Structure 1
Amino acid sequence: MTPGMPLTDPAPCLAAVAAAMAAPGQPEAGLRALDRALAATVGHKLFTVLVLNHAAGQNQRYYTSRPEAYPAGGQKPIDFSSEFYRTVVTAGRPRFLHDRADIVRALFDHKLVLSLGCEGAVNVPVRWNGRTLGGLNLLDAAGRYDEAQMPLLLTFAALAVPALLHITRNWTEVGP
């Protein structure tokens, strides 16, 4: 696959995510549809959704495509000094990790990530009203992701807004 080019026509996949977000069973139904659509259009070996709890100063891996190897759950403090925070959360821009060296430099759990065959990644901000709610994280082979994919990735991130708003609203109302 040529980086930047979708694997399949994204229009039906975008429509499927939009329909899933309107269906009952949220946010899980919408996130599963997002996982399938991103696998079909951009590709990934691992897909996760990180949600930021700004009030508590924590983040949580809320969804994962491979729960047996890379489980969801658990919370950890937001690292305000990290490249992820500066680029994805504050600036609201995708962060591209192009190769193994980038993965090792940027991810504390790089050994696990590399063991899953992931040597490249992109972290895509999910933003609403000027604020980053979390991120869509796609991991795959080195060189898989590049800036040419940004329009499609940001469109999928926009479709994820209702799911992340639901999650963060529940944190605000009843705690994490």
Structure 2
Amino acid sequence: MLPTSSLTESLFAVAQAHADTQQPQATFDAINAAVAATIGHRLFTILVHHRAARESERVYTNMREAYPVGGRKPITDSPWMQQVMLQGLPYIGRNADDLRDVFYDHELIVSLGCRSVLNIPLRWRGETLGTLNMLHEENWYDTGHVELARVFAQLAVPAVMAQQTQESMA
């Protein structure tokens, strides 16, 4: 279990980032740091779901060369999409076989030293807006990480909504 002070500091940093004028970047950076400190990750991304276009767009990444901001993935009818995007349920992949079964880019993911994944839906008013995605070494994530990851996902919602508003005004 994480020391309370570390968790409190991480939550405080995200809350403080919400007040920053550099949105959504300030909030995304704070969530990345908070998740790294409390849950752990090697690769961290935030994807936004574009329902009408049937695509997910990467709006944040800690590995810009391998996974640049703006990258898009098609929304399919796969079991992963049904579980995470439609039902709003988290997904835990514990090893490279799980990644291979779910992600078309599994070879790139594994080449980055990532063999497990935790995908947490960003939910607002019963809809999935996108996902918070954490990837790490094999068997890193388990069900004990889900509740805290959900807190960070929900803390990302205002920044994701601000980003969508900025895009619609552009």
TM bucket, shorter chain:
over 0.9
Question: Following the alignment from structure 2 to structure 1, what is the Cα–Cα distance between the partners of residues 165 and 67?
Answer: 25
Superposition map of 1:97-136 within 5 A? 97-136=93-132
In structure 2, what is the equivalent of residue 162 of structure 1? 158
Question: Against the structure 1 CA distance between its residues 42 and 135, is the aligned structure 2 distance closer, same or farther, given a 3 Å change threshold?
Answer: same
Task: For residues 82-111 of structure 1, give each alpha carbon's deviation from its aligned partner in whole angstroms, at most 9, with x where no partner exists.
Answer: 223111111111100011110111110011
Of residues 70, 74, 82, the one that matches 1:73 is: 70
Aligned amino acid, residue 71 of structure 2: G
Question: Against the structure 1 CA distance between its residues 6 and 141, is the aligned structure 2 distance closer, same or farther, given a 3 Å change threshold?
Answer: farther
Of residues 32, 35, 38, the one that matches 2:32 is: 35
Displacement, 1:173?
A: 4.1
Question: Against the structure 1 CA distance between its residues 170 and 57, is the aligned structure 2 distance closer, same or farther, given a 3 Å change threshold?
Answer: farther
In structure 2, what is the equivalent of residue 12 of structure 1? 9
In structure 2, what is the equivalent of residue 60 of structure 1? 57
Task: Provide the secondary structure at the position in 2 that maps to 1:73.
Answer: coil
Q: TM-score, normalised by structure 1?
A: 0.90
Check conservation: 1:7, 1:43, Cα contact below 8 A.
no
Question: Following the alignment from structure 2 to structure 1, what is the Cα–Cα distance between the partners of residues 3 and 85?
Answer: 28
Displacement, 1:132?
A: 0.5
Question: Following the alignment from structure 2 to structure 1, what is the Cα–Cα distance between the partners of residues 79 and 97?
Answer: 15
Tell me the C-alpha RMSD between the 2 structures.
Answer: 1.5
Question: Following the alignment from structure 1 to structure 2, what is the Cα–Cα distance between the partners of residues 22 and 55?
Answer: 31
Check conservation: 1:7, 1:41, Cα contact below 8 A.
no
In structure 2, what is the equivalent of residue 24 of structure 1? 21
In structure 1, what is the equivalent of residue 48 of structure 2? 51
Displacement, 1:76?
A: 3.3
Give the percent of matched residue pairs that are identical in Structure 1 and Structure 2.
41
Question: Following the alignment from structure 1 to structure 2, what is the Cα–Cα distance between the partners of residues 7 and 115?
Answer: 32
